[in-house]
């Protein structure tokens, strides 16, 4: 199945059998399911600022990082935390390598400029909050909007053993 540039633009929907996906970026993929039911939205690699929270671009960091791992990046990516807390996270929050990962396409996680007291509280007693696994060029910046010296991100770990907050 050949999706032309006019119908294969990001945001469009397709419904077809697919045995290989070749896009205009640098990623070629073979789908695990070649005849899925229903339509799918075409999503480009990530680049820019994405809000994380109930009303954001992604409801959780877990989902945002999953999209980054599968879609990759073609520019710097910032995940801005907009909620006061994140009770729906799956711990540990895994930060893995992603297609396009480089010093130019770096990942930053930080509170949004409008968020002053963000809490990520791990309730899993057998892990840390974040696990960095194969990823490089990752910054967890506690300053709202990445500016000033105010600490606006609080990471709390209730693990029973000596699990670090970030490992």
Residue in 98, 111, 91 with CA at minimum distance from that of residue 138: 98
Residue 64 has pLDDT above 70, yes or no: yes
Q: CB–CB of 84/118 below 8 Å?
A: yes
Predicted model pTM: 0.80
| Residue of higher predicted confidence among 68 and 23 | 68
What is the C-alpha separation between 160 and 100, in angstroms, rounded?
36
Residue 56 has pLDDT above 90, yes or no: yes
User: How high is the pLDDT of residue 14?
Assistant: 72
How does the average pLDDT of the chain come out, rounded?
Answer: 85
Q: How many CA atoms within 13 Å lie on the side-chain side of 148?
A: 11
Radius of gyration (C-alpha) of the chain in whole angstroms: 18
User: How high is the pLDDT of residue 1?
Assistant: 44
Mean pLDDT of 42-56: 92
């Amino acid at each position: 199945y050949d999706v032309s540039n006019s119908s294969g633009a990001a945001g469009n929907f397709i419904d077809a059998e697919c045995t290989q996906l070749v896009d205009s970026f640098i990623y070629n993929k073979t789908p695990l399911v070649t005849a899925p039911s229903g339509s799918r939205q075409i999503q480009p690699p990530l680049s820019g600022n994405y809000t994380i929270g109930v009303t954001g671009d992604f409801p959780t960091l877990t989902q945002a990082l999953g999209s980054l791992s599968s879609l990759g990046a073609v520019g710097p990516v910032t995940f801005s935390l907009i909620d006061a807390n994140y009770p729906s996270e799956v711990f540990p929050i895994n930060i893995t390598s992603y297609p396009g990962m480089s010093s130019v396409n770096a990942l930053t996680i930080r509170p949004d400029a409008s968020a002053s007291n963000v809490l990520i509280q791990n309730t899993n007693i057998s892990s840390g909050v974040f696990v960095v696994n194969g990823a490089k060029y990752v910054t967890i910046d506690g300053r709202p909007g990445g500016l000033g010296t105010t600490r606006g991100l609080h990471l709390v770990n209730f693990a029973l053993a000596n699990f670090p907050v970030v490992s």
